Amino acid sequence: MSAQTMVERRSSATKRARMAHATKSRKGCPCFNPQPPDAITNCAKRAGIEDLIYKEHSMPLREVYRLLFLVPRDDENLRFYNKTADESRCLLWAICTHPLVDARFTYPAMLGSIAEQTFHYGIKPLQHWAMDAIHIITRPPSTVLRTCPVDAMAYLSRAALAYYEPPLLDLITDHWINRLLLPQSPHALPPEDAIVYGEHTSQLMLQAAASYAYMIRDLPTIAADVKARAIRPKPPLNGILQRHVLAGYKSLSVVAARLRAAPPPYPRAEECTEEEHWKCERVWGRAWHAVAGDMNVDVINRLATAQAILRRDARLARVMNDACREAAFAALRKARMDTLKHLPHHFDL
């Protein structure tokens, strides 16, 4: 029985929809090139399949192995579930290598790619081998999600999409966003890849956070484009993605202007009388304008910086009611979290 027939019989409409959703994009994800396995003895029996879809029709594993691993390689004519040649070699490496190494010590991008492809082919042993390891390497105290390159983040995310595991996907996305919004981090990630990947997989929060990071990094250029009313995309971004970035700049400019005019409002604490509260508001307002008078579109980082500075302000601690001061800081935190939460809205996604 051909692999295509097996997949068609196995896949429900839901699985096909998830598979299409998870494999829409291959952009921005540099691949890997595993070494050829020593032999392919009994690999078909272990995998549960005897042939693969290659060059638009089913071919025996041994023949596909020859075309992918042996010289000359046949990368140009690859038709392997819309995968690249390197991704296909990765799957064959997992099928043909016996015994398999400990998955926890396998390159995370390879794990994600193997998990995604074995989902399509229904190779249960390799699914468990890859996904069990992905769950282990993404849990604390592992630092994989805090240090791995962007291709690994994308492959792990695609695996979570293929197997429809929202908690795992949220965990990967949260780490990805955190590394996008910390450009000074030694493990910061480039925003362009995340913008393209987020758009192709409909992950709006990831796309918005990446658009924000891209906007802040190229702020002078973005500001000039907005002023000139020009859309000048730089690859890999296209005109539509660049338009979203410009929309975010305009929207966050309004937020920044509002914050320059006045700090986020906070309620009067019960411990603070109405007669004394005007002192709290006056000293808080003066301190706020001193640190936020030049607030720009980098609202998320500027709010965090302002809060850190105001925390160290001795005059605030001396004059303001303690409960009022904490309420004011809570209002700053809420303003920052609300801005982050509504980034897709700001970038018109």
Q: Looking at residue 12, what is its pLDDT? A: 39
- Mean pLDDT across 295-316: 92
- Does residue 184 or residue 22 have the better pLDDT? 184
Instruction: Read off the pLDDT of each residue in 206-217 and give the average, rounded to a whole number.
Output: 96
pTM (two decimals): 0.82
- Could you give the percent of the chain with pLDDT greater than 90? 49
Average predicted confidence (pLDDT) for the chain: 82
Q: pLDDT for 191-201, tens place per residue?
A: 999 999 999 99
Distance between alpha carbon 110 and the CA centroid of its chain, in Å? Answer: 17
Instruction: Write down the pLDDT at residue 183.
Output: 75
Per-residue confidence (pLDDT) for residue 45, from 0 to 100? 58
Contact 299, 255 (CB under 8 A): yes
Report the C-alpha gap between 68 and 274 in whole angstroms.
78
Quote the pLDDT of residue 90: 82
Report the percent of the chain where pLDDT is more than 70.
80
**Residue 59: is its pLDDT beyond 60?**
yes
Highest mean pLDDT among 59-68, 267-276, 310-319: 310-319
Q: Residue range 292-296: average pLDDT?
A: 88
Query: Burial letters for 8-42: b for 16+ Cβ neighbours within 10 Å, e otherwise?
Result: eeebeeebeebbeebbebeebbebbebeebeebee
pLDDT tens digits, 157-192: 999 999 999 999 999 999 999 999 987 778 889 999
d(CA 318, CA 157): 49
pLDDT at 154 over 90: yes
pLDDT classification of 20: cutoffs 50, 70, 90: very low
Token pair recorded at residue 82: 């819309």
Residue 15 has pLDDT above 50, yes or no: no
pLDDT at position 76: 67
What's the confidence (pLDDT) of residue 42? 60
